[in-house]
Amino acid sequence: MADTRSNIRRFTVKHHAARARILAAAADLIARDGVTNTGIEEIRKAAGVGGSQVSRFYPDKRALIRDVIAWQADLNLASQCPPALGNLDSFAAWHQWAQMIMDRQSSRNFVGGCDFGSLAGQLVESDDATRADLADGYQRWIGLFRDGLSAMRDCGDLRSDADPHALAVATLSAMQGGMLLSQTLRDINPLRDALRAALERIEGFADEGHSIVYDVGGS
C-alpha cells in the first residue's frame, strides 16, 4: 500500500510538472508569435514533452488556450503585487507599484507590453467563452486594486466618498493604455504620464491632512 501511494504521488508530481511546462511554453510562444502563429507542435517541442502528453491534457487548441488565459492571469496577479508592496493599501505602495511598472518596461526597452493585455487583444472577439475567461482575469486584477483601495478608505487614508472600484478600473485602464503607447512609441513618457494621472486621481481623495510626498518617475 505504501509503495502504491508513493507511486501515485510521483505520478501526480510528474503530471503537474508536465502540464506546467506546456502552459509556460505556450504562454511564451503566444506572447512572442501570437495565437494564430503558435501551433501545438511548436508548443510540444518548446515544452520538451511528447505528443501524447499534450493530447492527454489538451485534446484541442481551444482547451489549451483556455488554460493559458488562466495561467497568464495568475502570473499577472502575482507580478502586480510582490511581497515588498504588501497589499497595495498605502500611498507609498501605489507609488512603488507605479515605479515597478515603469522599471519593467524600461528594462525591456519597451519591447512587449502587458502579456495579459496582449492575449486579450488577440482573443477577446474569438467567442463568448473566451471573452468570459479574459473578463474573469481582468475582474481579478480590478479586485486586487479595489481591495487595496478599500483598505485605505476603511483606515481613513482615503475619504469616505472615494469609490474603490471606480478608482481601480481607472488605474488599470491608465496603466494598460500607457503601456501600449510606450510600447508603440518606444518612450517611457506616455506610461509615466498615465500612471501619474491615475495616482493623482487616487490622491485627490486623500483624507484631509494627508501630505503627498511621492512622485512617479521624477520630473
Tell me what pLDDT residue 215 has: 66
Tell me what pLDDT residue 8 has: 39
- 27: domain range? 1-59
Are both 42 and 100 inside the same structural domain? no
Tell me what pLDDT residue 142 has: 97
Mean pLDDT of the chain: 87
Comparing CA positions, the residue from 106, 131, 143, 24 lying closest to residue 72 is 24
Contact 162, 173 (CB under 8 A): no
Domain count, the chain: 2
Are both 54 and 123 inside the same structural domain? no
User: Per-residue pLDDT tens for 92-132?
Assistant: 999 999 999 999 999 989 987 888 998 899 889 988 999 99
| Average of per-residue pLDDT across 128-151 | 96
Tell me what pLDDT residue 214 has: 54
Q: Which of 38, 59, 80 is the last residue of a domain?
A: 59
Q: Which of 42, 59, 76 is the last residue of a domain?
A: 59
Q: What is the DSSP letter of 207?
A: P
CATH number at residue 140: 1.10.357.10
Helices marked H in the chain — which ranges?
2-33, 40-47, 51-57, 61-80, 91-107, 115-123, 128-154, 164-185, 189-203
Tell me what pLDDT residue 101 has: 95
Ranked by mean pLDDT, the top range of 53-67, 71-85, 160-174 is 160-174
Are both 155 and 72 inside the same structural domain? yes
CATH number at residue 23: 1.10.10
* Amino acid identity at 98: A
This prediction has a pTM of 0.84
Range of lowest pLDDT (46-60, 115-129, 130-144, 157-171): 46-60
User: Per-residue pLDDT tens for 164-186?
Assistant: 999 999 999 999 999 999 999 99
Kindly report the three-state secondary structure assignment for every residue of 179-193: HHHHHHHCCCHHHHH
Are both 73 and 134 inside the same structural domain? yes
User: Per-residue pLDDT tens for 176-213?
Assistant: 999 999 999 999 999 999 999 999 999 999 977 665 55
For the chain, the C-alpha Rg in angstroms (whole number) is: 20
